[in-house]
Amino acid sequence: MTLYSRTFADVADVFRTLSASDYGERIQSAVDMLVETFRCGGKALVFGNGGSAADAQHIAGELVGRFLRERKGLPAISLVSDAAVLTCWSNDYTFDTVFARQIEALGHAADVAWAISTSGNSRNVIAGLKTARERGLRTIVMTGRDGGEARQYADVLLAAPANLTPRVQEVHLVTYHLICEAVETQVAESRSAPALASNGAGR
């Protein structure tokens, strides 16, 4: 078996495991939470490190821009995107609280904190979730394996059943695409707006 065929088989096994679990119900819980948040004037604050930081930016882009439908923008902020905030706070204080500080500044009880950590144990993600809970935000946590420490701060836990980080990240990508599509479908300004062929320029 080649590297490619082995990887394809591994990916298929992970998604078969998901299909036989309650993961779809958990995704729906996240969708319901976000739809309620947006309808009540709240926003999503999305954050993570490394590849998960890129995912946070991707999610915010899909919500503020669009996924498949023409609609009004949905309020989402990637907490990894402001270089001045990230570097000033990390340099003057500590990187461990760089997300907590932004949630303290930007978060309100009507909002959702959407955390991404493949291990579930990233210190700055945990700190951000703790601050979110203290401020009354609801939380979506995307992790791998058993959810790590982050699981105790999750209102909705989306833990990919995989040990390898790449497999976890692949599940996360499909997961947040499903969430964005379902949220968009429910809150689109015109329910009759046709689905578009492309997922946006530059993709």
DSSP letters spanning 91-136: HHS-GGGHHHHHHHHH--TT-EEEEE-SSS--HHHHHHHHHHHHTT
Mean pLDDT of 65-92: 96
Residues 90 and 25: their CA atoms lie apart, in Å, by 37
User: What pLDDT, in 10s, does the model give residues 142-192?
Assistant: 999 899 999 999 999 999 999 999 999 999 999 999 999 999 999 875 444
User: What pLDDT, in 10s, does the model give residues 12-44?
Assistant: 999 999 999 999 999 999 999 999 999 999 999
Question: What is the structure's pLDDT at 198?
Answer: 47
Report the 10 Å Cβ neighbour count for 73.
Answer: 9
As given in the structure block, the two tokens for residue 164 are: 């390898």
pTM for the full model? Answer: 0.92
Residue 141 has pLDDT above 90, yes or no: yes
Q: Which CATH superfamily is domain 43-187 in?
A: Glucose-6-phosphate isomerase like protein; domain 1 (3.40.50.10490)
Contact 154, 112 (CB under 8 A): no
